[in-house]
C-alpha cells in the first residue's frame, strides 16, 4: 500500500508515520516529491491497522499498490528514474538517449582499447564487453574473466566510457563490482534470485536483461528483487524473446518499450544485436527502438566480426556504428529528445 501525506507534512510527521509502519511489521520506502511525500509500504498487510495510520497527523489517504511489483511500479513513483553511469555520470533515463556499444566478449587488450576509442568517437556513453561469458556450450570460449575485467578498467581510464559487463555468479559479484560501472545480469540469469539479491546488495547500477521466455511481469518482479535487496538503480534491457520464428535469433518485441514506460519508472534499453542475431538488421531496429521511446541501446560492435569469439554475426563494425549515431540523433530530436 501507499500512504500519501498531505502537502506540507513536516519531516517529523513523516517519521511518525514511518515508525507506525514499522510497528505493523512493514518495510517503508519513502519517496520525497516536490509537492508531497508518499510512503510505499511493503510486507504482509494483514497485521496492519489502517485506521491508526489514516488518523496520524497529515496523512491524506492510503491506496493499495495493485501491481505485484511494487517499488518498480509507476503506481509508487510517477517520475522517471535517472541512473548515472560511469566516470562522467551520464544519466540513463533522462532526455538524452545513451548508446552503449562494444564486443560480445573481451578478447584481448588491443581489441578492447581499439574498440573503446571507436565507440567513444562515435558518441556512445558506455563500453560493453563480457569478461565472464554464459555460453550455451561448455566447450565454447568462457571469457577472459579477471584479466578481462582489468582490460575493461584500463579502457575506462583511456576513454571515459562507462564499463558494462556481465556477472554470472554470486561468487563473482564482488570482483565484477570492483571493476565495472554497470553490472549486467543476462537473459539466462534473469530468474537467478540469489544473484539478483547479490547485485541488489551492491551500490552499482544493474542492467537487467529480459529472460529468453519471460513475461514482462516476471521481468519486473526480477527488478523488484534487486530493488528490495537495497539497490534502486535498475536499468531494464529488452533483448528479444524466443518464439517459433527462426529468421531471427530472437524476436524483438518493441511494443515492450511503451508498455514498460507505462508500467515502470525504470529506464529501458533495447539490445538490437541479441534481438535479431543479424548485423544487417541492427541499424533498422536501433532506429525503431529510439522512435519507440527507449532510453538507450546496448549494441554489439566488433572491429573484426568474422573472427569474433562470440556473436560475430550480430556485431556491427565501428564504421556502421559511426554512421548510425547521427541518424539516431535526428530521430531522437524528432521526438523531443537528444543523443
For residue 250, give the DSSP letter.
S
| Residue burial 225-261, b: 16+ Cβ < 10 Å; e: rest | bbbbeebbbbbbbbbbbeeeeeebbbebbbebbeebb
| Closest residue to bound ligand PEP by CB | 186
Give how many residues touch Mn ion by CB under 5 A.
2
- The least CB distance from residue 186 to ligand PEP, in Å, is 3
186 binds, among Mn ion, ligand PEP, none (CB under 5 to 8 A by kind): ligand PEP
156 binds, among ligand PEP, Mn ion, none (CB under 5 to 8 A by kind): none
Grid look-up 499498490 returns 65
Distance CA 27, CA 18 (A): 9
Applying CB under 6 A, does 186 fall inside the site for ligand PEP? yes
Binding characters for Mn ion, 68-107, by CB under 5 A (x = yes): ------------------------------------x---
User: 72 vs 29, 67, 324, CA distance in Å?
Assistant: 12, 9, 32
Cell readout for 18 is: 514511518
Residue 330 has phi, psi (to 5 degrees) of -65, -40
Applying CB under 6 A, does 104 fall inside the site for ligand PEP? yes
For residue 327, give the DSSP letter.
H
- What is the pairing mode between strands 126-128 and 98-102? parallel
CA 43 to chain centre: 25
Applying CB under 6 A, does 239 fall inside the site for ligand PEP? yes
Residue 329 and residue 336 in contact, taking contact as beta carbons nearer than 8 Å: no
| Residue burial 166-183, b: 16+ Cβ < 10 Å; e: rest | bbbeeebbeebbebbbbb
**Which lies closer to ligand PEP via its Cβ, residue 72 or residue 104?**
104
- The least CB distance from residue 107 to Mn ion, in Å, is 12
Applying CB under 5 A, does 187 fall inside the site for Mn ion? no
Applying CB under 6 A, does 130 fall inside the site for ligand PEP? yes
- Site for ligand PEP (CB under 6 A): which residue of 120, 209, 263, 302? 209
Spell out the residues 6+ positions from residue 247 whose beta carbon is closer than 8 angstroms to its own. none
Give how many residues touch ligand PEP by CB under 6 A.
9
**Which lies closer to ligand PEP via its Cβ, residue 73 or residue 165?**
165
Applying CB under 5 A, does 311 fall inside the site for Mn ion? yes
- The least CB distance from residue 302 to Mn ion, in Å, is 10
239 binds, among Mn ion, ligand PEP, none (CB under 5 to 8 A by kind): ligand PEP
Residues that bind ligand PEP (CB under 6 A): 104, 130, 134, 186-188, 209, 239, 274
Residues that bind Mn ion (CB under 5 A): 104, 311
Amino acid at each position: 500500500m501507499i500512504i500519501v501525506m498531505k502537502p506540507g507534512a513536516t519531516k517529523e510527521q513523516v517519521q511518525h508515520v514511518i515508525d507506525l509502519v514499522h510497528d505493523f511489521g512493514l518495510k517503508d520506502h519513502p519517496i520525497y516529491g516536490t509537492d508531497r511525500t508518499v510512503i510505499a509500504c511493503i510486507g504482509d498487510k494483514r497485521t496492519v491497522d489502517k485506521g491508526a495510520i489514516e488518523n496520524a497527523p497529515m496523512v491524506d489517504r492510503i491506496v493499495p499498490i495493485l501491481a505485484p511489483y511494487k517499488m518498480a511500479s509507476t503506481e509508487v513513483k510517477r517520475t522517471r528514474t535517472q541512473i548515472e553511469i560511469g566516470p562522467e555520470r551520464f544519466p540513463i533515463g533522462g532526455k538524452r538517449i545513451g548508446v552503449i556499444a562494444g564486443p560480445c566478449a573481451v578478447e584481448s587488450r588491443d581489441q578492447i582499447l581499439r574498440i573503446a576509442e571507436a565507440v567513444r568517437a562515435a558518441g556512445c556513453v558506455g563500453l560493453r564487453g563480457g569478461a565472464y561469458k554464459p555460453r550455451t556450450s561448455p566447450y565454447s570460449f568462457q571469457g577472459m574473466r579477471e584479466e578481462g575485467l582489468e582490460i575493461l578498467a584500463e579502457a575506462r581510464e583511456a576513454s571515459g566510457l562507462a564499463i558494462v559487463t556481465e556477472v554470472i555468479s554470486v561468487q563473482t559479484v564482488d570482483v565484477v563490482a570492483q571493476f565495472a560501472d554497470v553490472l549486467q545480469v543476462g537473459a539466462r540469469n534473469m530468474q537467478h534470485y540469489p544473484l539478483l539479491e547479490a547485485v541488489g546488495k551492491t551500490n552499482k547500477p544493474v542492467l537487467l536483461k529480459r529472460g529468453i521466455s519471460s513475461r514482462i511481469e516476471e521481468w519486473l518482479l526480477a527488478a523488484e528483487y534487486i530493488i528490495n535487496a537495497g539497490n534502486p538503480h535498475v536499468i531494464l534491457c529488452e533483448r528479444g524473446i524466443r518464439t517459433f520464428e527462426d529468421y531471427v535469433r530472437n524476436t524483438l518485441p518493441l511494443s515492450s518499450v511503451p508498455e514498460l514506460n507505462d508500467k515502470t519508472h525504470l529506464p529501458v534499453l533495447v539490445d538490437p544485436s541479441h534481438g535479431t542475431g543479424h548485423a544487417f538488421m541492427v541499424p533498422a531496429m536501433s532506429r525503431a527502438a529510439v522512435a519507440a521511446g527507449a532510453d538507450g541501446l546496448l549494441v554489439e560492435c566488433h572491429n573484426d566480426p568474422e573472427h569474433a569469439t562470440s556473436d560475430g554475426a550480430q556485431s556491427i563494425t565501428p564504421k556502421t556504428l559511426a554512421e548510425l549515431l547521427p541518424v539516431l540523433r535526428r530521430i531522437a530530436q524528432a521526438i523531443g529528445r537528444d543523443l
